[in-house]
A and B are shown apart, each in its own frame.
Chain A
Amino acid sequence: MHHLRKILAIVAKDLAAELRTREMLGAMFVFALLVIFIFNFAFELRAENQRALAPGVLWVAITFSGMLGLSRSFIREKDRGSLEGLLLAPVDRGVIFLGKMLGNALFIAVIDFIVLPVFVVLFNIPVTALPPLAVIAVLGTIGLSGVGTLFSAMAVHTRAREVLLPVLLFPLIVPVILSAVKLSAAVIDNLPFAEAQQWLSLLLAFDIVFAVLSFLFFDYVVEE
């Protein structure tokens, strides 16, 4: 309970700061929509190829817009010196990691839930696919924000931090993107659950492994 209160305090602080400016959520939202619209127009999708391309388009939108949020997450702390304020507090570094990770996941999930209905309409996907797609989006978002929070903290100490984060992060989250795309495709194609089960297991496994490893390594990353 003691740690949970501090984790929630960090999440609430990030949320309050974002609600005051809305600069990060606004940029992420516009970017995700642009990706979906641009792909939609660029491919001039016909009925038969829509379903094949749609899952990939969805996850490009989620990961790229998520990257915007993740890169800002620690830059905001570092540039204003408040990261030192956090590290100075008698709080376990793992608690700080979980607070930042939950905050990042929350921001990306907000974008997921706004973008999904637009995606469903533009790609002519049955509305019944929305709930399972939302669950997959949440699972993919957890994987993305777990390792993304760690690498965001790592990249913030470098000069080319905004370039470095995607370069470091994208190769690592390939299993998350791959399994999320496969799962989304299975939902859109209305395949039986058994056919998608292995991808769900892979996604869950990576969510857990990435979150645990990132939690363990965070202390070393923020230590000078």
Chain B
Amino acid sequence: MIEIRGLVKAFGSRLVLRGITLHISAGEFVTLVGPNGAGKTTLMRILATLSRPTAGQVLLGGCDLTQDPMRARHMIGLVSHRTLLYDDLSGEQNLLFYAQLYDVTRPKMRVEELLRQMGLWGRQRDPVSTYSRGMQQRLAIARALLHNPPILLLDEPDTGLDRHAAMTLGALLRQTDLGRRTVLMTTHNLEYAAAWGERAAILVNGRIVFQVNRSKIDLATLRAQYDHYASSA
């Protein structure tokens, strides 16, 4: 579902991604961990069509990202550490606005369904600025799922959340039909990386240096591998 081949991204003379190759099958949940500056967010921005690669190719469901970004955008839902929401609008107004942009059929029904699913029904008319960080992040997930995308990109969605809110987020992500979606999540938290994904990968200095199936690794081993690669960077 996600095919990344020799992906390179440079900002001027600075190489941020140095030839990433990664294949994620349909329905697979892959977590990507790495230290600050490893290139996680840059990779996510490219996959989300917010940034163009310098070299290499990215295929989403067979669609080349640079050739047909509009089609690719229909397939992507992005949850980032920033909510991408309008603080001055209510949760309902935010979702209805995005539903119009994504041509969602029966937008009111879909918005109500998602707000209920995220436990935000009852606060739907309140401005987003009055929501707690956890509630805002749940609304961000609802926004990302509005158009029912087959691919979900989670860019450090746990940032700024306390442990309880992060666990709620994890439970929600597992609840919301993720079995049908392909998910790539970046995080700093090795515990979540080991627990939430089916495969974990380590990104250091713009390269994927380690990949393993969750069934073949425990948290302590993942942590040891992470420390090894991060310290040698």
Q: Is the CB of B85 within 8 A of A88?
A: no
Question: For residue B101, which residues in chain A have a CB less than 8 angstroms away from its CB?
Answer: 6, 9, 86, 89-91
Q: Is the CB of A88 within 8 A of B73?
A: yes
Q: Is the CB of A21 within 8 A of B52?
A: no
Using known A-B contacts A9-B101, A91-B101, determine if residue A81 contacts B84 with beta carbons closer than 8 Å. yes
**18 interchain pairs, CB-CB under 8 A:** A5-B100, A13-B86, A13-B93, A17-B86, A80-B82, A80-B87, A82-B85, A82-B86, A84-B48, A84-B50, A84-B82, A85-B84, A85-B85, A85-B143, A88-B50, A88-B73, A90-B74, A224-B51
In the assembled complex, A223 has its CB within 8 A of some CB on chain B: yes
Question: For residue B49, which residues in chain A have a CB less than 8 angstroms away from its CB?
Answer: 87-88
Q: Is the CB of A9 within 8 A of B85?
A: no
Shortest Cβ distance from B81 into A: residue: A81
Task: Using CB atoms and an 8 Å cutoff, list the residues of chain A in contact with chain B.
Answer: 5-6, 9, 12-13, 16-18, 20-21, 80-82, 84-92, 223-224
In the assembled complex, B127 has its CB within 8 A of some CB on chain A: yes
Sorting the interface of chain B by its residue count into under 10, 10 to 19, 20 to 34 or 35 or more gives: 20 to 34
Shortest Cβ distance from A23 into B: residue: B88
Instruction: Pick from B52, B87, B93 the residue with the most CB of A within 10 Å.
Output: B87
Q: How distant is B112 from chain A, measured CB to nearest CB, in Å?
A: 19
What separation, in Å, do the CA atoms of A224 and B76 have in the docked complex? 19
What separation, in Å, do the CA atoms of A195 and B126 have in the docked complex? 55
Closest 5 CB pairs of A and B: A81-B82, A85-B84, A89-B101, A90-B73, A9-B100
Shortest Cβ distance from B48 into A: residue: A88
Question: For residue B50, which residues in chain A have a CB less than 8 angstroms away from its CB?
Answer: 84, 87-88, 224
Shortest Cβ distance from A21 into B: residue: B88
Q: Is the CB of B98 within 8 A of A20?
A: no
In the assembled complex, B190 has its CB within 8 A of some CB on chain A: no
Q: Is the CB of A90 within 8 A of B102?
A: yes
In the assembled complex, B83 has its CB within 8 A of some CB on chain A: yes
Given contacts A82-B84, A84-B82, A85-B85, 13 further A-B contacts (CB under 8 A): A9-B100, A13-B89, A81-B80, A81-B85, A85-B143, A87-B49, A88-B48, A88-B49, A88-B50, A90-B73, A90-B101, A224-B51, A224-B52
Instruction: Pick from A9, A81, A87, A92 the residue with the most CB of B within 10 Å.
Output: A81
Using known A-B contacts A90-B74, A224-B50, determine if residue A6 contacts B88 with beta carbons closer than 8 Å. no
Q: How distant is A57 from chain B, measured CB to nearest CB, in Å?
A: 33
Q: How distant is B80 from chain A, measured CB to nearest CB, in Å?
A: 7
What separation, in Å, do the CA atoms of A87 and B50 have in the docked complex? 7
What separation, in Å, do the CA atoms of A47 and B102 have in the docked complex? 58
Q: How distant is A49 from chain B, measured CB to nearest CB, in Å?
A: 44
Q: How distant is B14 from chain A, measured CB to nearest CB, in Å?
A: 14
Question: For residue B45, which residues in chain A have a CB less than 8 angstroms away from its CB?
Answer: 224
Instruction: Pick from B49, B70, B84, B143 the residue with the most CB of A within 10 Å.
Output: B84
Shortest Cβ distance from A81 into B: residue: B82
Q: How distant is A138 from chain B, measured CB to nearest CB, in Å?
A: 27
Shortest Cβ distance from A224 into B: residue: B51
What separation, in Å, do the CA atoms of A121 and B78 have in the docked complex? 53
Question: For residue A87, which residues in chain B have a CB less than 8 angstroms away from its CB?
Answer: 49-50
